[in-house]
Chains A and B, each alone.
Chain A
Amino acid sequence: MVDIVTASQQLAEAFKGQDADYVEARLTEGETSHITYRGRQLESIGRSSAIGGNVRALVKGGWGFVCFNDLSELPDKVALAVKQAQFVGKEESQLAPAEPAVETVPSTIAEDPANVSLAEKKQLLDEYNDIICRYPKIQTSMINYSDSQRRTIFLNSAGSRIEQERRDVALRLAAVAASNSEVQQAGISLGGLNDFGAVRGLHSEAEQLAKRAVDLLSAPHVKGGEYTVVLDPILAGVFTHEAFGHLSEADFVYENEQFRQIMTLGKTFGEPHLNIVDTATLPGLRGSYKYDDEGVLATKTYLIREGKLVGRLHSRETAAKMKEAPTGNARAISYRFPPIVRMTNTYIEPGLASLDDIISEIKEGVYAKNWYGGVTSMEMFTFSAGEAYMIRDGKVAELLRPVVLTGNVFNTLKNIDAIGNDLDMNQGGGCGKGGQSPLPCSNGSPHIRIRNCLVGGR
């Protein structure tokens, strides 16, 4: 069978003489492994290997896209993508300039998950699982581990040929506690890029989450309503990603006049202490890479600087249409999808306040920690805390049942009135958009305080 290097040569040939404004292809080969536990039982262990690719063509502003596992008859696939694009295209193609690159990007691997044997991975997970399962009142555990290695060759009709490799590691540990007909759970998600070490040494975390699940059984519900809320770095990172990050993805904005007006650069979104950044250039973070899936170099983009909107995330098409510079944020979850505008590593830059400063002035509030999930509909967002406490008279008080926080992003960012000095990045989970989920991303923040945040409860 054809390998991806040979296929890339055939595709480069097939690009010649096509009646299209632009053609590109991505070819991928990779392996993934997963191990899952439910309770004492190892539930599933498996390995997958995949090879596949796609061709994307642009003609008069219309896109055609063909993806496949079978690497034969590649010229036909190029022709089909071009034909589809021709059918769609009725305008003018616009792509921001990107310097053609020919490069094999060396990967810097701290600890390669491919070099850790299945036996050793299982041993480590057994240790975590044992800690959770032997904790009193724990009914069951859920552990999901996966790693992947992926080699991708990108090429386009402008002469780019970029080869990149990555190793991704992700782990979720969850504990379920039960008494009578009450069931409560607690979990943590972690991950790393090119480093199996990211999931080592979590024994005390495993113990803590088992304890938390059990404590939740007797914890009260928060009374629904508006509170002053303090978010820990992990949850504030999710908040940044959900509430603001998605708004800064230019594909929501570029052809939507009303939305463009809302997102006019220079507009005030927060107090002058607020700075939000997205960058794929930080080593070791799951959202990092050298080139995006359109062959554009990764950049560091300030989205909010001193409270004002100063930038957004672009693909080549959205950058051209908005007459802004490309930022290298076009990403696809796999060869089965075309790249779309995505975040990479998104965070709030640290301020000066200590956690004590942030909490001590609050008479009654909620301290929300840890990621459970989050979604956004642009204007409104909701995200949930894996762990929450009441704050009473400036001190962290009783544990609460899991809380869901919701709000309107335009008001909420302005309501951030304190930013801590303790930036931390969250590598767990993944981002979903346009049917492409979970894409490796990271997000982070220092502790932040939000006034008048709506908390769901009973």
Chain B
Amino acid sequence: MEEILNRASKVAEEAEVFMVSSEETPVEFETNRLKHIQSKQSTNVALRIVKNGRIGYATTTRVDDIENLIANAVATAEFGTTAHFTLPSLTSYPNIEVFDPDVEKVTQERMAELGQGMIDALTKHTPELICEAAVTRIIAYVSIINSRGGQARYRQSAFTTAIEGQLIRDTDMLFVGEHWSSCHPLLEPGDIIRAVLQQLEWAREQASVPTRSLPVIFTPHGIASAFAGPIIAAFNGKTVLEGASPIAKKLGKGVFDKRLSLRDDPTIDYRPGSSPCDAEAVPSEATPLITEGTVSSFYYDLQTAALAKTRSTGNGHRSQGGQPSPLPSALVVTPGDATFDDMLHDIKEGLVVEQLMGATQGNILGGDFSGNVLLGYKVEGGQIVGRVKDTMVAGNVYELLKQVAAIGSDARWVGSFLNTPSIYCPSVSVASK
């Protein structure tokens, strides 16, 4: 890495080398039994340079092919965008724990037992259920160095368990499932099993909802599939800078319900979305996005922050080996005080949305979503009475979150990117067959 930096610094004004190497071991189950064990080793080096004021960028998996890497970065710098940022110099980083050595020690045998245990517990409850499952452990090493003396290094562990069950009766299909992740080994699958069993129980009967506006509770999964896409796009500093975000000019203004607060938070120990710094070596920090209904800030990487005349919030992340761009680390919605049962009991006739399919295909930037209820339940007289089918839910995030009926106290993680309670909306457009 140092050699790449040294040689790149000779042909460019600024240079930054980002390297990530990882080992990922997924143990996979198909049709209720162990099917596949994988071992995935990968190394990737990304070089970003500023030459004649312009950004050049190249990546390679060949750590020994420095010449080609530098040549590609130089070739792209000729056409690259003008660099407005300054790379961070040597600094200190917050102490955020994201590595648990115990993850490495979990054997493939133990992972296979864990997966089979989850499947056995579910098929004991519903014998016709056909499950796919994956138990995965990941160890990653991240290093960043730059020509201003900035340097950051950390290692991160992750452990994920995912299970999906399908139940087919004639041409009727039910899909249930959960996925959990942590930097610790997840060796006690009790909670994940209970969550899926609850879905099976609630979906036992079929029910139908009328085509009209109804009160709807979005569960944490439901929020991830309906609201997360538009919110992530709207608070992206780049979307704001372009004027393409509907809240671009609403900083400091009340746009959402006063009970709603949202932050991006990569500082929580042992979460896979956490890290001491972002992919540009900017120290991590919690960034409040919505504070009691008011738009309080947007999230930025170095370049976008410089263009917007503000500072990076440590959200310069690289997706799929690309250049850093503003991305949330981990979104956290502050829980409210309503229990899930409180919210249910308030509904005479309505819907619980657990999973929306295809919700973010529409005009995300405008806040619109519209999706098929893949997993959702009819509520009648304060009780869940069964699962709905052939039902679509449509709405606009800004209209729905302007005034909510309640925010739940049942906050939980959905994957590694979102921690939220359920949100109860008094009136949502529902169409069904």
User: Bound complex: CA of A300 vs CA of B357, how far in Å?
Assistant: 31
If A48-B60, A377-B175, A404-B358 touch, does A458 touch B38 (CB 8 Å cutoff)?
A: no
Residue of B nearest to A371 (CB): B361
Binary CB contact string for chain B from 130 to 172 against chain A (1 if under 8 A, 0 otherwise): 1000000000000000000000000000000000001011111
B321 contact set on A, CB distance < 8 A: 48
Q: Are B108 and A176 in contact (CB under 8 A)?
A: no
Q: Are B68 and A49 in contact (CB under 8 A)?
A: yes
Q: Are A226 and B68 in contact (CB under 8 A)?
A: no
How far is the CB of A123 from the nearest CB of chain B, in Å? Answer: 10
Residues 8-56 of B at the A interface (beta carbon under 8 Å):
30-31, 34-44, 55-56
If A382-B357, A456-B392 touch, does A45 touch B79 (CB 8 Å cutoff)?
A: yes
Q: Are B361 and A382 in contact (CB under 8 A)?
A: yes
User: Bound complex: CA of A34 vs CA of B64, how far in Å?
Assistant: 23
Q: Are A50 and B60 in contact (CB under 8 A)?
A: yes
If A47-B58, A225-B431 touch, does A379 touch B171 (CB 8 Å cutoff)?
A: yes
Q: Are B40 and A42 in contact (CB under 8 A)?
A: no
Residue of B nearest to A68 (CB): B41
Residue of A nearest to B27 (CB): A88
Q: Are A406 and B392 in contact (CB under 8 A)?
A: yes
B42 contact set on A, CB distance < 8 A: 52, 67-69, 336
Q: Kindly list 19 other residue pairs between chains A and B, CB separation below 8 angstroms, not including A44-B322, A67-B38.
A: A42-B80, A46-B72, A46-B322, A49-B60, A62-B34, A66-B39, A67-B42, A140-B244, A178-B243, A224-B211, A372-B361, A373-B360, A377-B173, A379-B171, A383-B361, A384-B361, A454-B390, A456-B431, A457-B429
If A372-B361, A383-B358, A406-B358 touch, does A178 touch B244 (CB 8 Å cutoff)?
A: yes
Chain A, interface size category, equals: 35 or more
User: Bound complex: CA of A458 vs CA of B81, how far in Å?
Assistant: 42
A457 contact set on B, CB distance < 8 A: 370, 394, 429, 431
Residue of B nearest to A408 (CB): B390
Q: Are A184 and B168 in contact (CB under 8 A)?
A: no
Q: Considering only CB atoms and an 8 Å cut-off, how many residues of chain B contact the other chain? A: 80
Residue of A nearest to B356 (CB): A382
Q: Are A118 and B371 in contact (CB under 8 A)?
A: no
User: Bound complex: CA of A379 vs CA of B432, how far in Å?
Assistant: 16
Q: Are B40 and A336 in contact (CB under 8 A)?
A: yes
Q: How many residue pairs between the two chains, A and B, have CB atoms under 8 Å in the bound complex?
A: 251
A52 contact set on B, CB distance < 8 A: 42, 61
Chain A CB count within 10 A is highest, among B40, B363, B389, for B363
Q: Tell me what chain A mostly uses at the interface: helix, strand, loop, or mixed.
A: strand
Binary CB contact string for chain B from 393 to 406 against chain A (1 if under 8 A, 0 otherwise): 11100000000000
User: Bound complex: CA of A382 vs CA of B356, how far in Å?
Assistant: 10
Q: Are B108 and A119 in contact (CB under 8 A)?
A: no
User: Bound complex: CA of A379 vs CA of B390, how far in Å?
Assistant: 10
User: Bound complex: CA of A427 vs CA of B406, how far in Å?
Assistant: 45
**Set A66, A68, A255, A407: member contacting B30, Cβ < 8 A:** A255
B30 contact set on A, CB distance < 8 A: 255
**Set B31, B35, B62: member contacting A51, Cβ < 8 A:** B62
Residue of A nearest to B77 (CB): A45
